[in-house]
Structure 1
């Protein structure tokens, strides 16, 4: 018989490092939005030129500044195409960041966020054949989906619980990507979402191979 699990208890307030990343992304987008409204759209355009992920830079394009080929794997995750784009990503970040901080600490969260952003950029570079730049924190955010879902699967397997909930979550993410891709006319970086998700799941497997087995054994000893 399968066991049903309650969600892990998470503190109500996001950790300072999660708030800091969300605040940085929000602050940048507020500046760009206000500049757009004031007629200074060149400010956003310059940020995209210098900070977005340009897959052609991994080919025969020349960078605008030394190190851009490397820095773009992180900088793109701090920039967004619109206020709603940023708001959507940050709301998910604030929610999913709690469990990562709870398990790995604030430094661990920063590392996971950065590596998932890199994984998202790599996925986009490998799977996207277009010339448009890519920006947004969704690669890193989908990485947090990957870690959270992997940990949930791991926890359920440790106690013989049903995997239907994480399976539905994965199905929901796939459906959401299909719907958003159609709504955006194909201009959705699903490749970054996939790359980030797989990176996050892999990181969750590496950094916490059997946490719930350890917790269960510890509880039995006390």
Structure 2
């Protein structure tokens, strides 16, 4: 269920992934009248989003939702929702429907029920889900040994979302309170795309593939499952 697509440069990688995203979203719109596109934040997918924003697509029928979010307001410089608006919900894609995770609740745990209700309204299975991976082996906001990680990694949970408090590290930064798709939520996807760049990330992937402890490297829960295809896109 794991396919690796290794490219010589990032430009070719982005072009290939853009084509796959457009094909999947277009097919979903044709088949059921709407498409769900699950997106992650960060510098790696930024060129993909910028390019996609200029593609001719029935964007009014696309629901863009976050894979995870720091529990910060939209005007915070670390907001994934704001990042997504800045880079994807622009140009031709400005009319897409964006579903964020952060709500008015004081904590992620308190906001979980409302977030879950919003995500349950999305058409399933999600058509494309873009994931990244940290040098610590986290994906989405499923961080190693985090508070809330164990139930969030239950593949048979009925809940799409989970509230997480990560252990602070160089990777997490100061904001450790997060909302994230659970493993069960991720597995509601037709395809999981793991988007990576650089030799360091490739080495982390190989380490994850060589071990079995999902609490140590939660990306392993995604790599080891056999329910949903995972496609690794990597470039130097």
TM range (shorter): under 0.3
Structure number with the higher helix fraction is 1
Which structure is larger by alpha-carbon Rg, 1 or 2?
Answer: 1
Q: TM-score scaled by structure 1?
A: 0.27
